[in-house]
């Protein structure tokens, strides 16, 4: 049975970076006889323009019937005036929710070649290797009630609800503890338990689940402190587990520690390791269409796909080694450029990774 991958390029730089990731994946597929097949569909603003919805039924069906989803990015100024229910971002959120992709892994690894691309001092970031485990299908992103309504006073009121059940917290806790067991066995749960009851429950459940993992050292940190600590001394962290919203914000902070948001891949997994793979960045409307976006986060997301969904660690390692070799050859997209390097386009970077793979 061929393994099917749903390919959703999306909007903005999405199609540009996905094209490079597919270059790499197609090569490794043929070279290693992985038997992967691909089918492309529209999502986000592109789907709205064609079908009036950011998540057409045929796209959702394709994702449900596929073994994995590769997504570029969605959104852009063109669709900002739309009602929230049909905004491009809802297409992405719909896939996460419909496929039950509750466990979002966002690894922040600093490649030594990019030490000087980070805005932080080399000694602060060199050797950085941390994993953020973000809860992805609950919390304030999905809680009810939500919306903008007219209050009794006659003025408009906007509301969203941060809500987590014990079972939602428990399953992301288990994901995070298992990941920590395979790493340096230190898990930091980030919350705002001093103010928000919902994260007091979060903290209690984390502590309770922690009893099943005596080999993992669990700590707790408030999110404001965690944001500061990530910039002050990021290497103190091994694995961070946090809510949907806090994870969104902290992973963008972590991205910059690695030199650029264009370097951070992600895996969004269900209970059976079926998953969606995407860079953590967005559609970058400010640089879309210029061929200058960094495709490495998307290429590294493909490596995560091979590792987590297709259980092909060797193929994943080959891609990661090829990214490393491409950086060794001193090619850089604009976002990670520094003096003395060779600046390349999006496809130039994809070609450099491909060349390294071809050996």
Q: What is the DSSP string of 218-287?
A: EEEEEHHHHHHHHHH-GGG-SEEEE-HHHHHHHHHHHHHHTT-GGG---EEE-TTS-EEE--SS---TTT
Strands 342-343 and 331-332: parallel
**Does 248 carry a binding-site annotation?**
yes
Distance CA 300, CA 324 (A): 11
Distance CA 336, CA 334 (A): 6
89 binds ligand IPM (CB under 6 A): yes
Residue from the set 66, 254, 280, 336 that interacts with ligand IPM by CB under 6 A: 280
In the DSSP assignment, the letter for residue 2 is P
335 binds Mn ion (CB under 5 A): no
Please, which residue, 91 or 210, has the CB nearer to Mn ion? 91
Verify whether residue 67 is a known catalytic residue: no
73 binds ligand NAD (CB under 6 A): yes
Verify whether residue 328 is a known catalytic residue: no
CB of 139 to ligand IPM, least distance (A): 10
CB of 282 to Mn ion, least distance (A): 7
Catalytically annotated residue among 192, 238, 274, 277: 192
Verify whether residue 308 is a known catalytic residue: no
Please, which residue, 248 or 335, has the CB nearer to Mn ion? 248
Distance CA 30, CA 12 (A): 29
End-to-end alpha carbon distance in the chain: 29
In the DSSP assignment, the letter for residue 145 is S
Residue from the set 13, 47, 70, 93 that interacts with ligand IPM by CB under 6 A: 93
**Does 9 carry a binding-site annotation?**
no
Q: Which stretch binds Mn ion (CB under 5 A): 56-64, 89-97, 242-250, 322-330?
A: 242-250
43 binds ligand IPM (CB under 6 A): no
**Does 86 carry a binding-site annotation?**
yes
276 binds ligand IPM (CB under 6 A): no
CB of 9 to Mn ion, least distance (A): 18
Verify whether residue 213 is a known catalytic residue: no
Helices (H), the chain: 14-32, 45-51, 57-65, 88-98, 122-125, 166-182, 197-210, 223-232, 244-257, 296-308, 313-328, 346-358
The residues, ordered by sequence, that sit 6+ positions from 317 with a Cβ below 8 Å of its Cβ are 303
Catalytically annotated residue among 67, 248, 308, 335: 248
Structure tokens at 22: 């597919």
**Does 202 carry a binding-site annotation?**
no
**Does 31 carry a binding-site annotation?**
no
Q: What CA–CA distances, in Å, run from 92 to 8, 63, 101, 126, 258?
A: 10, 11, 11, 33, 25
Verify whether residue 49 is a known catalytic residue: no
Residue from the set 135, 191, 238, 248 that interacts with Mn ion by CB under 5 A: 248
In the DSSP assignment, the letter for residue 112 is G
Please, which residue, 46 or 221, has the CB nearer to ligand NAD? 46
Query: Cβ distance 283 to 10 under 8 Å?
Result: yes
Distance CA 310, CA 273 (A): 9
Q: From residue 277 to residue 316, what is the string marking binding to ligand NAD with x (rule CB under 6 A)?
A: -x--xxxxxxx-----xx--x-------------------
Among positions 184-223, residues that touch ligand IPM (CB under 6 A) are none
Please, which residue, 29 or 137, has the CB nearer to Mn ion? 137
Distance CA 315, CA 72 (A): 21
Distance CA 131, CA 247 (A): 11
Catalytically annotated residue among 31, 64, 212, 224: 224
Count residues near ligand NAD (CB under 6 A).
22
List of residues contacting ligand IPM (CB under 6 A)? 75, 89, 92-93, 248, 280, 282
Residues tagged in the binding site annotation: 76-89, 96, 106, 134, 224, 248, 252, 282-294
List of residues contacting ligand NAD (CB under 6 A)? 13, 17, 73-76, 89, 92, 261-262, 278, 281-287, 293-294, 297, 335
List of residues contacting Mn ion (CB under 5 A)? 248
Catalytic machinery residues: 141, 192, 224, 248, 252
């Amino acid at each position: 049975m061929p393994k099917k991958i749903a390919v959703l390029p999306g909007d903005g730089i999405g199609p540009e970076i996905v094209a490079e990731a597919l270059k790499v994946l197609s090569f490794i597929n043929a070279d290693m006889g992985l038997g992967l097949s691909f089918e492309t569909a529209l999502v986000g603003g592109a789907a709205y323009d064609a079908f009036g919805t950011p998540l057409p039924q045929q796209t959702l069906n394709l994702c449900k019937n596929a073994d994995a989803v590769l997504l570029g990015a969605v959104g852009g100024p063109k669709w900002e005036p739309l009602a929230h229910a049909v905004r491009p971002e809802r297409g992405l959120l719909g896939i996460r929710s419909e496929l039950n992709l509750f466990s979002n892994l966002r690894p922040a690894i600093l490649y030594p070649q990019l030490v000087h691309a980070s805005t932080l001092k080399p000694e602060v970031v060199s050797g950085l290797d941390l994993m953020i485990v973000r809860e992805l299908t609950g919390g304030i992103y999905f809680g009810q009630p939500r919306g903008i309504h007219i209050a009794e006073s006659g003025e408009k009121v906007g509301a969203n609800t941060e809500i987590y059940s014990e079972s939602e917290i428990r399953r992301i806790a288990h994901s995070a503890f298992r990941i920590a067991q395979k790493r340096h066995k230190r898990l930091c749960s980030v919350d705002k338990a001093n103010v928000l009851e919902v994260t007091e429950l979060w903290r209690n459940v984390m502590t309770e689940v922690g009893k099943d993992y005596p080999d993992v050292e669990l700590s707790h940190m408030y999110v404001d402190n965690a944001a500061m600590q990530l910039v002050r001394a990021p290497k103190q962290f091994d694995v961070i587990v946090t809510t949907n919203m806090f994870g969104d914000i902290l992973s963008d902070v972590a991205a910059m520690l690695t030199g650029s948001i264009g370097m951070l891949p992600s895996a969004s997994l269900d209970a059976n390791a079926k998953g969606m793979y995407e860079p953590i960045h967005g559609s970058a409307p400010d640089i879309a269409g210029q061929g200058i976006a960094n495709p490495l986060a998307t290429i590294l997301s493909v490596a995560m796909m091979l590792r987590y969904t297709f259980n092909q660690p060797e193929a994943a390692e080959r891609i990661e080694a090829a990214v490393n070799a491409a950086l060794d050859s001193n090619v850089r997209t604009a976002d990670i450029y520094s003096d003395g390097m060779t600046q390349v386009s999006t496809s130039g970077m994809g070609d450099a990774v491909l060349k390294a793979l071809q050996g």
